[in-house]
């Protein structure tokens, strides 16, 4: 299958996403899970330990500062579905304004982050990574708050893992997801608009709605 940025966006708009079996596999296939993972934007769970870690500070959070670094951090593992073609197309989507990243830094070092694709009010979370304890959890907490402040209505996680479920993600049937997707892509949201808030603001807003 020959991919293009336009074909990728069309795939997301109808509820499918691309994967490869591993980083060296040139073959790419579309996935449309029977059960879909999503993060209800009013249902993120911040544990006491995570809230304490966020308040301790010692890190900074940025938006779109190092998309390629986040992408490569997500691919830097023994098994990854991000092959060279997929990597290049997501870099192109980033330059087109349809892909974004949120980064977590410690002492100037990129220690965690998450990236995804945007269509209307839908954010399609692609992958995340962590090189320091709780860095990916911090990234997700800031991301959920950021999506709410930016006007998003759907946060797609593709699959549900134990890690995501512990933070409040749920699984819904394919048909329900497609209905939510159809409505969300008609919404208007701006990922780049909201400024990065303090950790205390993130914690307060999330705990008030969850």
Closest CA to 185 of 145, 153, 158: 153
Compare 26 and 204 and report the one with higher pLDDT: 204
Counting the structural domains of the chain, the total is 1
> For the sheet containing 99-106, what is the strand order?
60-63, 99-106, 109-119, 122-130, 154-158, 35-38, 170-173
CATH number at residue 188: 3.40.630.70
Mean pLDDT, to the nearest integer, of 185-203? 96
Residue 78 pLDDT class (50, 70, 90 cuts): low
Closest CA to 101 of 132, 135, 63: 63
CA distance 120 to 118: 6
Residue 34 pLDDT class (50, 70, 90 cuts): very high
Tens digits of residue pLDDT in 97-139: 999 999 999 999 999 999 999 999 999 999 999 999 999 999 9
Domain that holds residue 35: 5-209
Share of the chain above pLDDT 70, in %: 96
How high is the pLDDT of residue 1?
A: 56
Global pTM reads 0.94
Q: Give the CA distances from residue 146 to residues 61, 75, 198, in Å, rounded to whole numbers and listed in that order.
A: 11, 24, 11
Q: Which helix (H) or strand (E) holds 18?
A: strand 17-19
Q: Give the CA distances from residue 115 to residues 86, 98, 125, 184, 201, in Å, rounded to whole numbers and listed in that order.
A: 13, 11, 6, 19, 22
Q: Which residues of 80-180 form beta strands (DSSP E)? A: 99-106, 109-119, 122-130, 154-158, 170-173
């Amino acid at each position: 299958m020959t991919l293009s940025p336009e074909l990728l966006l069309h795939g997301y708009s109808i509820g499918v996403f691309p994967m490869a079996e591993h980083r060296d596999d040139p073959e790419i296939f579309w996935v449309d899970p029977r059960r879909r993972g999503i993060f209800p934007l009013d249902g993120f769970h911040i544990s006491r330990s995570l809230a304490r870690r966020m308040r301790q500070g010692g890190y900074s959070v940025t938006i779109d500062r190092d998309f390629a670094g986040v992408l490569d951090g997500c691919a830097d593992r023994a098994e990854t579905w991000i092959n060279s073609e997929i990597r290049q197309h997501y870099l192109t989507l980033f330059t087109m304004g349809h892909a974004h990243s949120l980064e977590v830094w410690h002492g100037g070092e990129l220690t965690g982050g998450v990236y995804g694709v945007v269509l209307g009010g839908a954010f399609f979370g692609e992958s995340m990574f962590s090189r320091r304890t709780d860095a990916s959890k911090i990234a997700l907490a800031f991301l959920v708050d950021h999506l709410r402040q930016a006007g998003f209505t759907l946060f797609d996680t593709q699959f549900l893992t134990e890690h995501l479920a512990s933070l409040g993600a749920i699984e819904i049937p394919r048909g329900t997801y497609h209905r939510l997707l159809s409505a969300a892509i008609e919404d208007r949201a701006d990922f780049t608009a909201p400024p990065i808030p303090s950790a205390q603001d993130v914690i307060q807003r999330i705990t008030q709605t969850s």
